[in-house]
Chain A
Amino acid sequence: MSAVVTQNQPVLELNDVKVTFGSGRSAATVLKGVNASIHAGKTLGIVGESGSGKSTMAKAIVGLVKPSDGQISFSGRDVTKMSGAERRRMRRAVQMVPQDPYSSLNPRRTIGQTLAEAIDPLRANPKEHSEKISYWLSTIRLDPEVAERYPHEFSGGQRQRIAIARALAVQPKLIIADEITSALDLSVQAEILNLIGRLRKELDLTMAFISHDLDVVHHVSDEILVLFHGEVVEQGDVDAVYGNPQHPYTRRLIDSVPGGPGFDIGERRVMAR
């Protein structure tokens, strides 16, 4: 039962993971055999358009969706074969930062209470954990005093930082960031991306960064995985994939980014004057 953790063993490994919703004739296969791996300290960018299965992939990794086939392993241990109790213990090893900073924080709980729950889900008393709460708040560059406040007193960017702190406070092996900047304004997005960049260095985070925004994924990732209709069409080093995409869909995706080198929407109108 003891898993040998070697230096080269990936933190997360997906092996031919399939997810099917429904059954019989109405069954829809959303993930059609996905292989992926993330090594310690690395960030894997997962890109794809709506319907590509990237959110389902995140939910399968976190355990909110049960794969119909294949293995998901953390540090070499297959989660799909674990007993209920073991899986519950594993649960805290993967944390997710959700997309919408407005619905991800309970409006009736102070920031301190929210963080205390992440630190100790049984006795979520902010007074007992005030030191840790202050530590995590300062990690995300917020004043420790804000622990007393409620979510509605914060801007979208600040809330997203608090959601990140909540995920960090669990000290998970892997963080899944699901479209964490897509609800934010440009300047706020920059603030969050900078924070993520800094945390990756300081805390040596291992992360899956899911986004539809190819610019953002390019900015934060070491490796990238392109999903198309539930299949991985391309996977590899960010610069290699962006610089020389192998699959025609990846090429089309990259050429569709406004401001990118391959972007073309046709000739401008010749102005009369």
Chain B
Amino acid sequence: MAETARPRRRFRWTTGLIVGLVMMSVMVLTAILAPIFLSEAAEKLTPQASQGPSAAHWLGTDDFGRDVLARSLVATRLTLLMTAATTAIAVVAGIAIGTAVWLAPRRIRAAVLRVIEAAVAYPSLIFSLLIAAILGQGTWSAVLAISIASIPAFARLTANMAASISQRNYVSTARLLGVSGPHIITRHLLPNMAEPLLVLTATVFATTLIDLSSLSFIGLGVQNPEYDFGRLLNEGLVNIYSQPLQAVMPSIMITITGLGAMLIGDGLAAATDPRGGRKFGSLRKASEVPASMRADAQALVEVDNLTVTTPSGVPLVKGVSLSIHAGEVVGLVGESGSGKSLTAMSIAGLLPEELGVSAKTMRLGELNLLKKNNPRELAISIGLVYQDPGTSFNPALRIGSQLTEVSRVHLGQSRRTAFGRMVKALADIRITQPEKRMKQHPHELSGGMLQRAMIASTLVTDPRLIIADEPTTALDVTVQADVLRQFRTINREMGTAMLFISHDIGVVQALCDKVIVMNGGKILERLTGEELAAGKVKHPYTKALLAATPSIAERKAELVTVTAKDFALDEVFDDDPADGGHITNSPGSKETAQ
């Protein structure tokens, strides 16, 4: 498969891989050199039988006066050869069977897979004992027995992975391109299952070593006068009390070889992935953000100079200040990576622990959001609506128990009270048959209905603020319009303040009173929903975004692409010239950017 040189792919050396390679090369060197230099000491019978450790024989001698250390070292060659052969047979046959199964017609595939699964379930050592018993004793029958016993695991892994990878788009696209089955296997399937196969190969190498040694140990494998680690253990067992060292050395050798194989497998798996070793791009340092631009002490929510940084100190949100007044719907709009969700989630106190959050002020009413707050207080003050209604519900529990959780746990309501209130809340947002819905499981409801139910459940605690993170992104347009209508009604009738996060300018301009445009962790522009709808925007980035959006309202010949320089500018201010020292060129024209 090495068709081209791959200059951009760097091999990644991990400590584990290096240690594993060192251990394995020591073993391989031993396997090559020991029989050349130590055969004499290992195999010649001498009168000094069953001696303890001495200067001449470091680990003593066996019953026939042969040097224990030399025998252990010489045995490495046969052991490694047998293990390598066994592993090779198992890997090649396993992969061949596994991919052949994938190519086979559906019925044959299903039948063969069942057989393979049954074989995997059967302990491989017992299976190989059976085969060894049939083939008779001896080195090569042991190799054959254990490789046959290891094939099913490989075949099953290959077949399962082939099935999962063939679901990916690039495989179906390759079929459309007219690529043949065998080519799909070699180009698309095998390279993408290399890691698990390598890890399994290493594991099989290690277990094979132990299985082969076990067979020799119980006398079914290698026979006199040949010897491997297992055979040495077998001989050492007789004298285990008088000469324990005879059994120690082969055991150590088995351990080192097995460990080395495992470390190499893991290391190779990590190294073969071209996606690995990614480094974070060096981000430019955030410019100095003027303290307190728009934090308002009168507001319901006040966030002053919020920064969020990764553990390595990369700033993700760079000094964001905003306020939300009671009854106001504030929209945070921006593309992915703009920091809009991070900003909202730091207000909700839901950021992962490892992210560093700091701000001059961050409060909701008199609740200081910078402290660790009572979860009960947070849960009832802030209502949260997430993006995907399909995944924010637990599929195993009934809707009712999930929707009433906050009221039961945090408001201490009885099951019955909570249920009754929830039914009423569902009816209020026009969900049909609310009582029946409460007893259903999430998969029985449509996405739009789940999202409306989620919104209803946030309302029962009468929260002061609803934070909605892309609540309509996963919904169909007609359902989206319904849900937006719901948000509007709640805001109009109950006066609940909302922080609404979305990437969709159309949605934000329709729903929100105020809109904050974010990019790269900074606020670029603040304006009202009406201004945005009318195209009265000032910041070049916002203008570019509007010009980049196709619309059914007008047919644009060419969409304007947002360029890097549009992002680079700082916030544009409209009302406070004293603050505007660092505004970069903001063209005076107020017409819509087309």
Q: Per-residue CB proximity of B239-283 to A under 8 Å, as 1/0? A: 000000000000000000000000000000000001100100000
Q: Per-residue CB proximity of B414-457 to A under 8 Å, as 1/0? A: 00000000000000000000000000000000010000000000
Q: Which of A95, A100, A193, A255 has the most CB of B within 10 A?
A: A193
Complex CA–CA separation, A255 to B169 (angstroms):
34
A residues less than 8 Å from B561 (CB atoms)? 187, 190-191, 194
Chain A: CB-nearest residue to B194: A108
Complex CA–CA separation, A145 to B275 (angstroms):
19
A215 at the interface (CB under 8 A from B): yes
Chain A: CB-nearest residue to B510: A258
Contact A193 B180 (CB under 8 A): no
Within the complex, the shortest CB–CB distance from A178 to chain B, in Å, comes to 10
B585 at the interface (CB under 8 A from A): no
Contact A216 B513 (CB under 8 A): no
A residues less than 8 Å from B562 (CB atoms)? 186-187, 190
Complex CA–CA separation, A99 to B169 (angstroms):
9
Contact A259 B176 (CB under 8 A): no
Complex CA–CA separation, A258 to B9 (angstroms):
46
Contact count band on A: 35 or more
Complex CA–CA separation, A152 to B278 (angstroms):
10
B residues less than 8 Å from A220 (CB atoms)? 550
Interface stretch, picked from B152-160, B305-313, B314-322, B485-493, is B485-493
Contact A95 B176 (CB under 8 A): yes
A113 at the interface (CB under 8 A from B): yes
A residues less than 8 Å from B328 (CB atoms)? 271
Contact A106 B176 (CB under 8 A): no
Contact B558 A194 (CB under 8 A): yes
Query: In the complex where A109-B187, A218-B555 touch, is A104 in contact with B7 (Cβ < 8 A)?
Result: no
Q: Per-residue CB proximity of A109-124 to B under 8 Å, as 1/0? A: 1101110011001101
Contact B187 A256 (CB under 8 A): no
Contact A218 B552 (CB under 8 A): yes
Contact A194 B559 (CB under 8 A): yes
B residues less than 8 Å from A218 (CB atoms)? 550-552, 555
Contact B178 A92 (CB under 8 A): yes
Complex CA–CA separation, A122 to B186 (angstroms):
12
Q: Per-residue CB proximity of A245-269 to B under 8 Å, as 1/0? A: 0000000111111111101011111
B residues less than 8 Å from A105 (CB atoms)? 170
B553 at the interface (CB under 8 A from A): yes
Q: Which of A50, A125, A185, A187 has the most CB of B within 10 A?
A: A187
Complex CA–CA separation, A48 to B377 (angstroms):
43
Complex CA–CA separation, A50 to B175 (angstroms):
26
**Which residues of B from 503 to 537 have beta carbons under 8 Å from A?**
503-507, 509-511, 513, 533
Contact B533 A259 (CB under 8 A): yes
Chain A: CB-nearest residue to B545: A186
**Which residues of B from 156 to 198 have beta carbons under 8 Å from A?**
168-170, 172-180, 183, 187-188, 191-192, 194
Query: In the complex where A185-B336, A259-B551 touch, is A127 in contact with B477 (Cβ < 8 A)?
Result: no
Contact B545 A266 (CB under 8 A): no
A residues less than 8 Å from B575 (CB atoms)? none
A residues less than 8 Å from B187 (CB atoms)? 106, 109, 113, 117, 124
Complex CA–CA separation, A273 to B551 (angstroms):
34
Within the complex, the shortest CB–CB distance from B198 to chain A, in Å, comes to 13
Contact A257 B170 (CB under 8 A): no
Complex CA–CA separation, A257 to B481 (angstroms):
8
B33 at the interface (CB under 8 A from A): no
B residues less than 8 Å from A106 (CB atoms)? 170, 187-188, 191-192
Query: In the complex where A94-B176, A126-B4 touch, is A256 in contact with B480 (Cβ < 8 A)?
Result: yes
Complex CA–CA separation, A255 to B553 (angstroms):
11
Complex CA–CA separation, A121 to B509 (angstroms):
48
Within the complex, the shortest CB–CB distance from B546 to chain A, in Å, comes to 10
Query: In the complex where A257-B506, A269-B492 touch, is A190 in contact with B480 (Cβ < 8 A)?
Result: no
Contact A256 B176 (CB under 8 A): no
Contact A190 B560 (CB under 8 A): yes
A residues less than 8 Å from B503 (CB atoms)? 185-186
Query: In the complex where A117-B177, A190-B562 touch, is A110 in contact with B511 (Cβ < 8 A)?
Result: no
Within the complex, the shortest CB–CB distance from A40 to chain B, in Å, comes to 20
Set A109, A118, A186: member contacting B191, Cβ < 8 A: A109
Complex CA–CA separation, A190 to B95 (angstroms):
45
B548 at the interface (CB under 8 A from A): yes
B residues less than 8 Å from A269 (CB atoms)? 327, 329, 491-492, 495, 513
A150 at the interface (CB under 8 A from B): yes
B8 at the interface (CB under 8 A from A): yes
Chain A: CB-nearest residue to B193: A108
Q: Which of B170, B328, B447, B559 has the most CB of A within 10 A?
A: B170
Within the complex, the shortest CB–CB distance from A4 to chain B, in Å, comes to 26
Within the complex, the shortest CB–CB distance from A175 to chain B, in Å, comes to 11
Within the complex, the shortest CB–CB distance from B234 to chain A, in Å, comes to 45
Chain B: CB-nearest residue to A90: B178
Contact A150 B9 (CB under 8 A): yes
Query: In the complex where A104-B173, A170-B177, A194-B558 touch, is A261 in contact with B553 (Cβ < 8 A)?
Result: yes
**Which residues of B from 345 to 370 have beta carbons under 8 Å from A?**
none
Complex CA–CA separation, A214 to B477 (angstroms):
9
Query: In the complex where A113-B3, A214-B477 touch, is A190 in contact with B559 (Cβ < 8 A)?
Result: yes
Complex CA–CA separation, A219 to B328 (angstroms):
34
Q: Which of B174, B194, B329, B503 has the most CB of A within 10 A?
A: B174
A residues less than 8 Å from B325 (CB atoms)? 273
B residues less than 8 Å from A242 (CB atoms)? 552
Query: In the complex where A112-B4, A187-B544, A193-B550 touch, is A103 in contact with B170 (Cβ < 8 A)?
Result: yes
Contact A100 B169 (CB under 8 A): yes
Contact A252 B478 (CB under 8 A): yes
Complex CA–CA separation, A234 to B489 (angstroms):
32
A62 at the interface (CB under 8 A from B): yes
B6 at the interface (CB under 8 A from A): yes
Set A104, A114, A152, A193: member contacting B274, Cβ < 8 A: A152
Q: Per-residue CB proximity of B94-109 to A under 8 Å, as 1/0? A: 0000000000000000
Q: A125-B3, A187-B335, A214-B552 are in contact. List 12 more A-B contacts (CB 8 A).
A: A91-B178, A95-B176, A99-B169, A109-B188, A117-B187, A150-B275, A170-B177, A190-B561, A256-B477, A259-B509, A263-B481, A269-B495
Please, could you name 16 A-B residue pairs with CB atoms under 8 Å apart, sorted by A?
A50-B447, A94-B176, A107-B192, A108-B192, A121-B179, A148-B8, A186-B335, A187-B545, A193-B550, A218-B551, A258-B507, A259-B509, A263-B506, A265-B481, A265-B487, A272-B327
